[in-house]
């Protein structure tokens, strides 16, 4: 039983970081109908920014976390302004957008390799990270608590923004229908940039969280999280933000359980297995319409 | 000539192999499906053929057939349920497939050698075989484009609902295309498996699937030569950028971004002399309506 | 009158919104039957159920005695029901001829070119076969869609607002074309907004409102039906998009 509880704690902290990343990824898909495969690279940028601020500038981690979010958000906006925006204005096909986002990811990874090398770097250890408490046979690390808390904080802030503000209403209107949004006077261009910023900032936050949690930062760390993001995107129902948050937690838990009860090597297979089953059972996703209804 | 070939043999082999994969991806793109199964199907072809060679001493030619058939059957099993899925979901389902194949290859150590892969494979694949395969495939796809079956595919690309309304079984046509694409991936995998002494799970991951699509889109979806030209440029370009090994990745990604921005119809849309041998995009023959560089969804 | 197409108690709803609420109708062989009704009355939904693009929740559609409800669109098309769309759907990048040719090939590749040319001749587009379909004027695109449907050699031709966007002359020509097609022995079922056209060409008119049959019969009778008048006065044509 205590093994189960232990794994639940581990799974929740891991899953909450997945959820933060996936919520941003899902937001882009839901609001702008963009499948941005550069999101994993933006996550990596966030992880490196946080790391360098802590290591070189010796900023306290919470501050570094915020700056990393802003930086990752800014990089995300930059990709929109420089690549995705112009491509959309030229009427590029959706597939072109996918290719462009892959190229952007590759570019960011290449730059990171150039600047930081290919070695795995680590966040310097701090006393509170090492701290741990044992409650009823379950060991809870300070680190895990912090990751879980920041994740909840970030997602709560997003929920407030989306649900309780004018800006949030505007973004949700765009998700509903961009033409309607334009008609009712939503500043579509500005909201697009804001959505990219939020998605980037969430990716950056997850980057620092997982960088600290795994104690490993490398230029290639974005690839794995991108696959997780895609998994969660489907599990949560394409474009459904609360669904993504839940599915992120669920994925973290299933991964940890499968390592605990099956074998560590099948951790990644579990997520994809779930995706596969969901797609087969609900071939149009959880909220999809069929072509035959679109005539 | 032979000296030149020797020093660039690997690049030439890669160009040809990638051309074949590019066509496999192209076939799915022209029926409006973004398939990320290429890497997984290729892995199946590679492992099946290599295991046949290593464990049972099957002749090389037969292992090619074996790889192609196994991957085609896999495509049929995968495609029958998954092809019903709409656009983006289909891409994600095929992505999941490729990842699952990779994870199995990574963990089924007794058969696949796990992360260490299989070593000491006899290198049977010859440049001329790859060239012949690519030429035959190009000719075959070209012939299909000009046939009634090709017009069916072009109609699906042109408007799925209108295609259904004139009696085209869109789902069946797409499944057959996926099976054909799977067979091509399988044969390519068998070639790739016997190209070097070694295969491992990381040789056939997502990157393979994505690169194959890049060849096709980058080259242009206007005709079968698009993916071939795309594979040529996209494979040779990194070699040409060797002078600055460090900045190679950066330059390469910038080139792709610029290409996507300024050549939305792919390299084929450049006004090259080559173009005279390509199918007309518009006008009298217009039959190859796949000629519309960018398809409507 | 033997009914070629027999629609019985067809119902269809979308997320709780009723599109069709038990519609029944009969379409006689070699006649022109028009479905009229205000916007949102279920006309296009009815065509989509008949041609397999929507699956009915209940009810039956029989064609020549064969049950076709719930069958996929391509199966229904092969049986001999061809349709056009409210928003023109031509094959992108195809020439005028190729649009029709690929349809003619559904009935076998032998003589497909000749059959395609014949279909183009019926609608009067034989001379522009080599042009790109995208470049045709609007009225011609509508005719091309009809030619493409004809090339599949249907027994019944189903047209979704064929006169939409046409000017007065084009509408008259369309009416003549539909007569020609009927006189070739084909049955025509159409949804149309233009009352003058409908009353001028139809043998039989079915009026729908809120997914129910309001009236059915000869054009003159339907036009004078008080319920039909009310439905239309309540929602003037100007409100239709």
Contact B159 C98 (CB under 8 A): no
CATH number at residue B34: 1.10.3470
C22's enclosing H/E stretch is: strand C17-28
| pLDDT of res. A270 | 75
Regarding whether B221 and B297 lie in a shared domain, the answer is no
Burial string for B181-216 (b: 16+ CB within 10 Å, else e) reads bbbbbbbbbbbbbbbeebbbbebbbbebbbbbbbbb
Alpha carbon A63 to its chain centroid, in Å, reads 20
| pLDDT of res. B290 | 33
| pLDDT of res. B291 | 32
The shares of helix, strand and coil residues in chain C, as percent rounded to the nearest 5, are 40, 25, 30
Burial string for A234-260 (b: 16+ CB within 10 Å, else e) reads bbbbbbbbebbbbbbbbbbbbbbbbbb
Secondary structure of chain B as H, E, C letters: CHHHHHHHHHHHHHHHHHHHHHHHHHHHHCCCCCCCCHHHHHHHHHHHHHHHHHHHCCCHHHHHHHHHHHHHHHHHHHHHHHCCCCHHHHHHHHHHHHHHHHHHHHHCHHHHCHHHCECCCCCCCCHHHHHHHHHHHHHHHHHHHCCHHHHHHHHHHHCHHHHHHCCCCHHHHHHHHHHHHHHHHHHHHHHHHCCCCCECHHHHCHHHHHHHHHHHHHHCCCCCHHHHHHHHHHHHHHHHHHHHCCCHHHHHHHHHHHHHHHCCCCHHHCCCHHHHHCCCCCCCCCCCHHHCCCCCC
- Quote the tokens at residue A223: 């690839």
Subunits next to B (3 or more Cβ pairs <8 Å) are: A, C
| pLDDT of res. C239 | 42
The shares of helix, strand and coil residues in chain A, as percent rounded to the nearest 5, are 75, 5, 20
Residues of C contacting chain B (CB within 8 angstroms) = 51, 53, 72-75, 77-78, 82-83, 85, 89-95, 98, 101-103, 105-106, 109, 112, 130, 132, 148-149, 151-152
The set of residues, in sequence order, having a beta carbon less than 8 Å from that of C128 and lying 6+ positions away, is C96, C136, C140
A138's enclosing H/E stretch is: strand A138-141
Q: How many whole angstroms separate alpha carbon B140 and alpha carbon B270?
A: 25
What are the backbone dihedrals phi and psi of residue B157, each rounded to the nearest 5 degrees, phi first? -65, -40
Query: How many domains does chain B contain in total?
Result: 2
Task: Give the number of beta-carbon pairs within 8 Å between B and C.
Answer: 95
Calculate mean pLDDT across residues B29-36.
90
Residue of A nearest to B101 (CA): A269
Calculate mean pLDDT across residues B267-282.
49
Query: How many domains does chain A contain in total?
Result: 1
CA distances for C189 relative to A18, B142, C73, C210, angstroms: 55, 40, 17, 20
Residue with more model confidence, B93 or C145: C145
Sign for the pseudo-dihedral over CA of A47, A52, A57, A60: positive
Which among B166, B265, B289, B297 is the top mutation candidate for probing chain C, defined by the most C β-carbons within 10 Å of its own β-carbon? B166
| pLDDT of res. A239 | 73
Counting every residue written for chain A, the total comes to 295
C43 contacts on A by Cβ (under 8 Å): none
DSSP state, residue C170? H
B106 touches chain A (CB under 8 A): yes
**Is residue A283 domain-resident?**
no
Regarding whether B293 and B148 lie in a shared domain, the answer is no
- Quote the tokens at residue B135: 């030429």
What are the backbone dihedrals phi and psi of residue C190, each rounded to the nearest 5 degrees, phi first? -135, 150
Regarding whether B153 and B232 lie in a shared domain, the answer is yes
C94 touches chain A (CB under 8 A): no
**Is residue A278 domain-resident?**
no
Q: Bridge partners of C17?
A: C14
Domain containing B291 equals: 273-297
Residue with more model confidence, C155 or C92: C155
A292 touches chain C (CB under 8 A): yes
Contact B256 A284 (CB under 8 A): no
Domain containing A67 equals: 14-226
A262 touches chain B (CB under 8 A): no
The set of residues, in sequence order, having a beta carbon less than 8 Å from that of B153 and lying 6+ positions away, is B30, B31, B144, B145, B173, B177, B290
DSSP state, residue C132? B
B82 touches chain A (CB under 8 A): yes
C72 contacts on B by Cβ (under 8 Å): 164, 169
Whether C220 has a pLDDT exceeding 50, the answer reads yes
| pLDDT of res. B285 | 34
What is the nearest CA distance from C53 to chain A, expressed in angstroms? 5
| pLDDT of res. A150 | 92
Q: Bridge partners of C8?
A: C60
Residues of chain A with pLDDT under 50: 285-295
C75 touches chain A (CB under 8 A): no
Place of tokens 């990381």: B202
Domain positions in chain C:
87-152
Q: Are B210 and B36 in contact (CB under 8 A)?
A: yes
Contact B252 A109 (CB under 8 A): no
Regarding whether B84 and B21 lie in a shared domain, the answer is yes
| pLDDT of res. B283 | 36
Which band of pLDDT confidence, cut at 50, 70 and 90, is reported for residue C234?
low
Which band of pLDDT confidence, cut at 50, 70 and 90, is reported for residue C105?
very high
What is the nearest CA distance from C49 to chain A, expressed in angstroms? 10
Whether B235 has a pLDDT exceeding 80, the answer reads yes
What are the backbone dihedrals phi and psi of residue C230, each rounded to the nearest 5 degrees, phi first? -65, -45
Dump the DSSP string for C189-227. EEE---HHHHHHH-SEEEEEETTEEEEEE-HHHHHH-HH
What is the nearest CA distance from C227 to chain B, expressed in angstroms? 34
CA distances for B280 relative to A275, B291, C225, angstroms: 42, 7, 57
For all residues of chain C together, what is the average pLDDT? 90
Tell me the per-residue pLDDT of A228-282, one tens digit each, with 9 for 90 and over. 888 888 777 777 788 888 889 988 998 888 877 776 666 777 777 777 777 777 6
Q: Nearest Cβ partner of A285 from B84, B89, B160?
A: B89
β-strands C156-160, C204-209 pairing: unpaired
Closest by CA to A48, choosing from A212, A162, A243, A186, is A212
Strand, coil or helix: C14: strand
Q: Are B257 and B293 in contact (CB under 8 A)?
A: no
Tell me the per-residue pLDDT of B133-188, one tens digit each, with 9 for 90 and over. 999 999 999 999 999 999 999 999 999 999 999 999 999 999 999 999 999 999 99
Residue of B nearest to C145 (CA): B162
Burial of A287 (0-12, 13-18, 19+ CB in 10 A): exposed
| pLDDT of res. C84 | 96
Subunits next to A (3 or more Cβ pairs <8 Å) are: B, C
Q: Bridge partners of A217?
A: A121
| pLDDT of res. A269 | 73
What are the backbone dihedrals phi and psi of residue A159, each rounded to the nearest 5 degrees, phi first? -60, -45
Contact C55 A292 (CB under 8 A): yes
Sign for the pseudo-dihedral over CA of A84, A87, A91, A94: negative
Q: How many whole angstroms separate alpha carbon A246 and alpha carbon A20?
A: 10
Q: How many whole angstroms separate alpha carbon B114 and alpha carbon C198?
A: 72
| pLDDT of res. A179 | 83
Regarding whether B288 and B161 lie in a shared domain, the answer is no
Subunits next to C (3 or more Cβ pairs <8 Å) are: A, B
Whether B84 has a pLDDT exceeding 60, the answer reads yes
Regarding whether B283 and B161 lie in a shared domain, the answer is no
**Is residue A259 domain-resident?**
no
What is the nearest CA distance from C234 to chain A, expressed in angstroms? 27
């Amino acid at each position: 039983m205590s093994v189960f509880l232990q794994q639940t704690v581990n799974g929740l902290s891991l899953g909450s970081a997945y959820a933060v990343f996936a919520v941003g990824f899902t937001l882009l898909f839901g609001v702008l109908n963009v499948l941005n495969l550069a999101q994993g690279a933006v996550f990596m940028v966030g992880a490196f920014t946080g790391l360098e601020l802590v290591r070189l500038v010796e900023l306290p981690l919470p501050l570094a976390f915020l700056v990393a979010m802003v930086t990752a958000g800014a990089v995300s906006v930059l990709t929109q302004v420089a690549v995705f925006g112009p491509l959309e204005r030229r009427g590029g096909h959706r597939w072109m957008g996918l290719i462009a986002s892959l190229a952007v990811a590759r570019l960011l990874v290449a730059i990171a390799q150039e600047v930081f090398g290919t070695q795995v770097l680590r966040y310097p250890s701090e006393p509170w990270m090492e701290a741990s408490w044992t409650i009823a046979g379950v060991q809870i690390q300070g680190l895990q608590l912090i990751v879980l808390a920041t994740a909840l904080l970030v997602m709560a802030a997003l929920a407030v923004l989306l649900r309780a503000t004018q800006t949030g209403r505007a973004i949700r209107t765009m998700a509903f229908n961009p033409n309607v949004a334009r008609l009712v006077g939503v500043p579509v261009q500005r909201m697009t940039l804001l959505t990219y910023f939020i998605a980037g900032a969430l990716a950056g936050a997850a980057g620092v969280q997982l960088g600290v949690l795994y104690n490993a930062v490398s230029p290639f760390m974005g690839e794995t999280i991108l696959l997780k993001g895609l998994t969660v995107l489907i599990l949560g129902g394409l474009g459904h933000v609360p669904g993504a948050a839940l599915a992120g937690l669920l994925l973290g838990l299933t991964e940890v359980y499968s390592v605990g009860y099956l074998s560590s090597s099948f951790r990644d297979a579990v997520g994809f297995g779930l995706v596969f089953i969901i797609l087969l059972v609900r071939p149009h996703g959880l909220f999809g319409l069929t072509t035959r209804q679109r005539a | 000539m032979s000296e030149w070939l020797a020093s660039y043999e690997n690049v030439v082999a890669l160009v040809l192999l990638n051309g074949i994969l590019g066509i496999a991806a192209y076939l799915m793109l022209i029926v409006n499906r973004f398939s990320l199964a290429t890497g997984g199907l290729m892995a199946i072809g590679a492992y099946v053929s290599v295991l046949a060679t290593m464990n049972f001493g099957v002749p090389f030619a037969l292992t090619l057939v074996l790889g192609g058939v196994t991957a085609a059957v896999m495509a049929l099993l995968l495609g029958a349920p998954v092809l019903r899925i709409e656009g983006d979901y289909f891409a994600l389902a095929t992505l999941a497939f490729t990842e699952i194949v990779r994870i199995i290859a990574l963990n089924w150590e007794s058969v696949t050698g796990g992360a260490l892969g299989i070593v000491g494979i006899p290198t049977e694949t010859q440049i001329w075989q790859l060239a012949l395969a690519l030429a035959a495939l190009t000719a075959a796809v070209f012939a299909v484009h000009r046939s009634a079956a090709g017009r069916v595919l072009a109609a699906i690309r042109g408007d799925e609902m209108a295609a259904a309304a004139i009696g085209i079984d869109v789902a069946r046509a797409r499944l057959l295309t996926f099976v054909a694409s799977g067979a091509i991936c399988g044969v390519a995998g068998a070639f790739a498996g016997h190209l070097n002494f070694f295969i491992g799970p990381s040789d056939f991951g997502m990157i393979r699937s994505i690169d194959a699509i890049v060849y096709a889109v980058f080259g242009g979806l206007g005709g079968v030569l698009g993916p071939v030209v795309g594979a040529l440029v996209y494979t040779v370009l990194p070699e040409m950028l060797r002078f600055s090994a460090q900045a190679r990745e950066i330059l390469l990604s910038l080139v792709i971004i610029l290409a996507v921005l300024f050549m939305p119809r792919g390299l084929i849309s450049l006004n090259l002399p080559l173009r005279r041998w390509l199918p007309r995009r518009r006008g009298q023959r217009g039959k190859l309506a796949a000629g519309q560089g960018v398809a409507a969804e | 009158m033997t009914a070629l197409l027999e629609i019985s108690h067809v119902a269809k709803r979308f997320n709780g919104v009723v599109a069709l609420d038990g519609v029944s109708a009969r379409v006689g062989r070699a006649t022109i039957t028009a479905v009229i009704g205000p916007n949102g009355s279920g006309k296009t939904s009815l065509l989509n159920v008949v041609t397999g693009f929507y699956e009915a929740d209940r009810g039956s559609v029989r064609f020549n005695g064969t049950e076709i409800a719930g069958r996929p669109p391509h199966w229904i098309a092969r049986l001999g029901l061809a349709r056009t769309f409210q928003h023109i759907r031509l094959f992108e990048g195809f020439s005028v001829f190729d649009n029709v040719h690929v349809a003619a090939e559904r009935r076998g590749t032998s003589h497909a070119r000749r059959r395609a040319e014949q279909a183009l001749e019926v609608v009067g587009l034989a001379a522009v076969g080599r042009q790109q379909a995208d470049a045709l004027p609007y009225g011609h695109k509508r005719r091309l869609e009809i030619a493409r449907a004809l090339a599949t050699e249907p027994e019944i031709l189903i047209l979704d607002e064929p006169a939409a966007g046409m000017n007065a002359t084009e509408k008259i020509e369309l009416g003549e074309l539909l007569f020609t097609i009927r006189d070739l022995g084909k049955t025509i079922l159409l949804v149309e907004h233009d009352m003058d056209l409908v009353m001028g060409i139809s043998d039989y008119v079915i009026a729908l409102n809120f997914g129910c049959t309001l009236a059915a019969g000869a054009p003159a009778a339907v036009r004078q039906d008080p319920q039909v008048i009310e439905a239309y006065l309540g929602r003037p044509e100007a409100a239709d998009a």
